[in-house]
Amino acid sequence: MKHYSHIETSFIHGGISTDEHTGAVNVPIYQTSTYAQKNIGGEVKWEYSRTGNPTRAALESLIAELEGGDAGFAFGSGMAALTAVISLFKTGDKILISSNVYGGTYRVLDKIFSNFGITYEITDTTRESAFEKAITPDVKAVIIETPANPLLTVTDLEAIARIAHKHNLVAIADNTFMTPYLQRPLEFGFDIVVHSATKYLGGHSDVVAGLVVTSKPEHSKQIAFIQNATGGVAGPFDSFLMIRGIKTLAVRMDRHAQNAHDIAEYLQLNSDVKTVYYPGLTSFKGHDIHKKQAKNGGAMISFELTENHDIRKFFGSLKLITLAESLGGVESLVCHPASMTHASIPRDLRVKLGITDNLIRLSVGIENASDLISDIKQAIENSRI
Ligand SMILES: *Cc1c(COP(=O)(O)O)cnc(C)c1O
């Protein structure tokens, strides 16, 4: 029986949050591979740490509660989590993915699962009719992200779940950008949620990990089997780091989003900036749908400088914000999608998609917003041609 009703409290007290053996207020790091058994053939709760580990189990019960699911599963990376979920399907099955899913999701389908006869098709999940039209009898699932990288494209969770169920598809959402604090896809009818916990859930750029939450007991049973059979589990120390990160998720996300909002407003009024992509701005294309399904705009912003800027100079001039892959940590990070995350897409197609050479993606941290704005301002001024 829970003695609270708000998610901010769940972040701290949710799931198995204390140690049943000692009363330790933090679940210890059970750094063990195996467990002593009293007798042969007896019932054992813990037998081997690939199958189950108390620290990992605490995290798994926590994420299940946060997303409002049936069960949670922790993996060694977001990609290991996605791989376990895609392993639900078999030869002849097809998976629809939105046009801007994480590059690694596309890659594992295109280069690994294709070898086993699981196919995929890229669809525009922002348009209900286009999505429904792509559903042929072999389609068994849909994987979406909203907002999606790098243009923060918004997909309507309720609409996709509704159409998916009409056609018996498993609806899968990668909720990495939003976290369960800002958006809970299972509440809109999705079946499975996946996270790269490397990002906001870990929150401190010090762990690579992934999570899965299932809403249906049949999927829980299957994912538990796949997790143990294929073995991409999160270790006890990484599980501990995720639990520790999640405790401060609400305060971090509030500050992340406030900073992002301030920066987006600054950029919007800047004549050196051609376009600002941020779901929290009322002028943003998907704003109304996003507002319906998420608490705020999150902390990912993309923006495009006008032509009279040297993009290399912009990145070279930043003094506080770090140029790096990844996102979701306390420190602000910036990246250049055209040469980094989306470099594998041919230039013509990339530009057509809106990923121009002057596009910048910013993961807004929890530093002081005016310090961040000053850094962006001087880098923009320095990069004018
Ligand atoms: C980073 C990321 C992943 C992959 O997660 P890893 O932890 O790097 O394996 C998947 N989806 C999204 C949206 C991501 O940002």
CATH topology of domain 250-382: Aspartate Aminotransferase, domain 1 (3.90.1150)
Could you tell me the distance, in angstroms and rounded to a whole number, from the CA of residue 41 to the centre of ligand 1?
41
Instruction: Judge residue 344's burial from the number of C-beta atoms within 10 Å of its C-beta, 0-12 exposed, 13-18 middle, 19 or more buried.
Output: exposed
Confirm whether 7-247 and 250-382 share one CATH topology: no
Nearest protein Cα to ligand 1, atom 7 = 78
Amino acid at 254: D
**What tokens does 266 get?**
């600054």
Of all residues in the chain, what percent carry a pLDDT higher than 90?
91
* Nearest C-alpha neighbor of 85 from the set 232, 300, 283: 232
Residue 99: pLDDT band with limits 50, 70, 90: confident
Residue 251: pLDDT band with limits 50, 70, 90: very high
- Quick one: how many helices (H) and strands (E) in the chain? 14, 12
Residue recorded with tokens 């109304």:
288
Res 219 pLDDT > 70: yes
User: What average pLDDT does the structure give for the chain?
Assistant: 96
The DSSP 8-state label assigned to residue 111 in this structure reads I
Give the separation between CA 230 and CA 45, rounded to whole angstroms: 21
Res 3 pLDDT > 90: no
What residues act catalytically? Answer: 50, 102, 174, 199
Ligand 1 contacts (CB < 6 A) are 77-79, 102, 104, 145, 174, 176, 196, 198-199, 208, 210
The residue-averaged pLDDT of 36-41 equals 91
pTM: 0.96
Which class would CATH give 7-247? alpha beta
- Mean pLDDT is lowest, of 47-61, 96-110, 265-279, for 96-110
Nearest protein Cα to ligand 1, atom 4 = 78
Could you tell me the distance, in angstroms and rounded to a whole number, from the CA of residue 295 to the centre of ligand 1?
21
* Nearest C-alpha neighbor of 119 from the set 107, 132, 110: 110
Residue 1: pLDDT band with limits 50, 70, 90: low
Q: Where are the domains of the chain?
A: 7-247, 250-382
